Amino acid sequence: MTLLDTVDGPARLRGMTADELTELAAEIRALLIDRVSRTGGHLGPNLGVVELTIALHTVFDSPRDRVLWDTGHQSYVHKVLTGRRAGFERLRKTGGMSGYPSRAESEHDLVENSHASTALSYADGLSRADAYAGRGDRAVVAVIGDGAMTGGMAWEAVNNIGGGPDRPLVIVLNDNERSYAPTQGGVADHLARLRAGEGPAVFEQLGLSYIGRVDGHDIAALQDALRRARDMRRPVLVHAVTEKGRGFVHTENNELDRGHAIKPIDPATGRPLAGSSGRSFTSVFGQRIADIAEHREDVVAITAAMLEPTGLVPMQERFPDRVIDVGIAEQHAVTLAAGLSMGGMHPVVAIYSTFVNRALDQLLMDVALHRRGVTFVLDRSGVTGDDGPSHNGVWDMSVLQVVPGLRIAAPRDAARLGELLEEAVAWEEGPTLVRFPKGAAGADVPAEAVFSGVDVLRRSGPLDVLVVSVGALAGLALDVADRVRAQGAGVTVVDPRWVSPVSPVLADLARRHRLVATVEDNSRVAGVGAAIAQSLHDAGVGTPLRSFGVPRRFLDHGSRADVLSLCGLTACDVSDAVIEALSRTDGRPAPGMDDELARLASGTINGKDQ
């Protein structure tokens, strides 16, 4: 039996000797390398916090003392030590263990979002709540990385923690010099000086006590520092210096991201186990924006600590001075873009869909209100799957359709991504947005015809059902069309490409069909389907509409296919619902058509006759 076999909770650690804790750290690393190599997940961040997590759980008494993990992708060791070792067999799988803290899994988890720079605010609130209740017998501990410390929200919290009342609050700054990639900016420079023993810590000047620098891989030193911080009974920052990816040659030697997030790999070689599934939307964007920058010297790209994940490495390599990494600071990124646009540049803000929610005010008031020519590129839009509820990008087309003047494009394939990106960057009358999902772009889906600017992907039989396909769900929409046609109904499948504002052509088409069905991997609430329904109502079109999308709930982690299935977004589910809805219509033939639509209905319009 190994030491790890005996650990069923944090209390077991407090009876171990120093040598046993060192051995336990080695066993945990071996477990992580073995399990995460099989399942995929955040390997590098967790290899870097093994000793730190052990020290935390020997000094503090979780869950009585509350331990918060900013971002949360470094919580695997915490999960091991709180009795969830068996869960790593199904890490990030449907019905399995989450890759982030999860309140449903354990009383040791309080905060389960995976957005950065929030833990200090939670900690401020929790510690103040204890103070209001007169409870001073427990501590709040927030573990935050140096990357997350580039976020403005973290400094808003530091400002209030340092200026607030004394209470037992410990901030553990896990400084590994990286977020996804090396940390950039003045915060990184300041921490480098502190690591070198130069100058006072800015944290002390803001009212916090400071303990550092501490070797984040020396359990005894960490325990000593954490005990000192705990016993001060006031806000203290412990500066622990760690190495991301420590203990695994393939993460230690990966200077790009130190194994931040991996797919299943061969642990002997570090190479992915599965073969390539083709070009990803991200790589297509990355190559195309670099090509655009070749002939558009005014194009500047902005990323929020996600250079490689958003595909900007090719542009950074070719035009290093025209790629700006602002750190985990989405709000600053967007208003920076507004300023660049005012100065004559055309900024392209590349960001994850779920993270753009953090900068809605800036997009609305700083960019759109001023009608600035800024292009937003949202990666990981729609259902992303295994990262869970905080990473699914299923709100952008609901939230952002309220922004006046914002044009939103949803490319269905790689070819359309390139075309729409070119169109977006060429538009200078206001902001534009191009959104696409995580993963392979798949085969291109050519249009059979173009009807007044709207791509017609399929036209078969009478004008019964108009299916409006949004973005990467074109394949699903075509499968639905085949199933509906097999039931004897006619189908037209169209892709508007630009989904907001809604093209008036859709009202013209809807008027001539018995039923409209919209298919999107965005929330049904205020999504594209809802916008089209409003457009039909405003145009006086009474054709019934059935919208298919993501229900109004947070989606658990799992494969993209599994999550879509749980949302009812399968060809079988959608086609059955369409046939049922069609049966409730009056069955009258479509009204008269103009000549062009008549030729479309008869199939005489094709890719060459437009």
Confidence of residue 191 (pLDDT cuts 50, 70, 90): very high
> Which one, of 226, 222, 119, 78, lies nearest residue 127 by Cα?
119
Q: Residue 274: pLDDT above 90?
A: no
pLDDT value of residue 307: 94
Q: CATH 3.40.50.920: which residues of the chain?
A: 454-601
Q: Residue 597: pLDDT above 80?
A: no
Confidence of residue 429 (pLDDT cuts 50, 70, 90): very high
**Is residue 308 annotated as a catalytic residue, yes or no?**
no
Confidence of residue 70 (pLDDT cuts 50, 70, 90): very high
* Set 66, 85, 213, 244: catalytic member: 244
Strand order in the sheet with 236-241: 66-69, 140-145, 169-175, 236-241, 209-215
Directed axis angle between helix 50-59 and helix 219-232, to 10°? 40
Q: In sequence order, what DSSP letters do the residues of 549-569 get, joined into one string?
A: EE-SSPPPSS-HHHHHHHTT-
pLDDT tens digits for range 527-559: 999 999 999 999 999 999 999 999 999 888 888
> What does the alpha-carbon distance between residue 24 and residue 491 come to, in Å, rounded to a whole number?
62
**Is residue 263 annotated as a catalytic residue, yes or no?**
no
* Set 330, 435, 512, 514: catalytic member: 330
Instruction: Say what the pTM is.
Output: 0.92
Give the number of C-alpha atoms closer than 13 A to the C-alpha of residue 387, restricted to the C-beta side.
22
pLDDT value of residue 557: 86
148 is in an annotated binding site: yes
Q: CATH 3.40.50.970: which residues of the chain?
A: 4-247, 281-435
pLDDT value of residue 555: 85
What percentage of the chain exceeds 70 in pLDDT? 96
pLDDT value of residue 608: 34
The whole-number average pLDDT for the span 502-510 is 96
pLDDT value of residue 386: 81
Q: Which helix (H) or strand (E) holds 494?
A: strand 491-495
Q: Which helix (H) or strand (E) holds 193?
A: helix 186-195
Q: Residue 205: pLDDT above 80?
A: yes
Confidence of residue 180 (pLDDT cuts 50, 70, 90): confident
pLDDT value of residue 609: 34
Confidence of residue 588 (pLDDT cuts 50, 70, 90): low
pLDDT tens digits for range 207-236: 999 999 999 999 999 999 999 999 999 999
Q: Residue 595: pLDDT above 70?
A: no
CATH topology of domain 4-247: Rossmann fold (3.40.50)
Confidence of residue 112 (pLDDT cuts 50, 70, 90): confident
Question: What's the token pair of residue 431?
Answer: 């902001």
Contact 177, 147 (CB under 8 A): no
166 is in an annotated binding site: no
Q: Residue 43: pLDDT above 70?
A: yes
pLDDT value of residue 594: 52
pLDDT value of residue 411: 98
Q: Residue 482: pLDDT above 70?
A: yes
73 is in an annotated binding site: yes
353 is in an annotated binding site: no
42 is in an annotated binding site: no
pLDDT value of residue 14: 92
Pinpoint the alpha helices (H) of 432-527. 474-486, 505-511
Confidence of residue 604 (pLDDT cuts 50, 70, 90): very low
Q: Residue 339: pLDDT above 60?
A: yes
pLDDT value of residue 447: 96
Give the number of C-alpha atoms closer than 13 A to the C-alpha of residue 212, restricted to the C-beta side.
32
> What does the alpha-carbon distance between residue 218 and residue 246 come to, in Å, rounded to a whole number?
13
Give the number of C-alpha atoms closer than 13 A to the C-alpha of residue 169, restricted to the C-beta side.
28
Q: Which helix (H) or strand (E) holds 318?
A: helix 313-318
Q: Residue 463: pLDDT above 70?
A: yes
Question: What's the token pair of residue 244?
Answer: 């991301």
Going by CATH, does the domain composed of 281-435 fall within 3.40.50.10090? no
> Which one, of 176, 10, 6, 16, lies nearest residue 78 by Cα?
10
115 is in an annotated binding site: yes
Q: What is the assigned CATH class of domain 454-601?
A: alpha beta
pLDDT value of residue 128: 97
Q: Residue 426: pLDDT above 70?
A: yes
176 is in an annotated binding site: yes
Instruction: For the chain, report the end-to-end CA distance as a whole number of angstroms.
Output: 73
Return the amino acid letter for 400: L
355 is in an annotated binding site: no
pLDDT value of residue 405: 97
> What does the alpha-carbon distance between residue 24 and residue 53 come to, in Å, rounded to a whole number?
12
> What does the alpha-carbon distance between residue 483 and residue 464 come to, in Å, rounded to a whole number?
14
The whole-chain average pLDDT of the chain stands at 92
487-499 burial string, b = 16+ CB within 10 Å, else e? eebbbbbbbbbbb
Minimum mean pLDDT among 147-151, 302-306, 599-603: which range? 599-603
pLDDT value of residue 610: 32
Return the amino acid letter for 382: G
> What does the alpha-carbon distance between residue 276 and residue 228 come to, in Å, rounded to a whole number?
50
> Which one, of 210, 214, 207, 208, lies nearest residue 199 by Cα?
210
**Is residue 93 annotated as a catalytic residue, yes or no?**
no
CA angle 411, 412, 413 (to 5 degrees): 95
pLDDT tens digits for range 237-272: 999 999 998 988 889 888 778 889 888 989 988 888
Q: In sequence order, what DSSP letters do the residues of 4-63 get, joined into one string?
A: GGG-SSGGGGGG--HHHHHHHHHHHHHHHHHHHHHH-B--HHHHTTHHHHHHHHHHS-TT
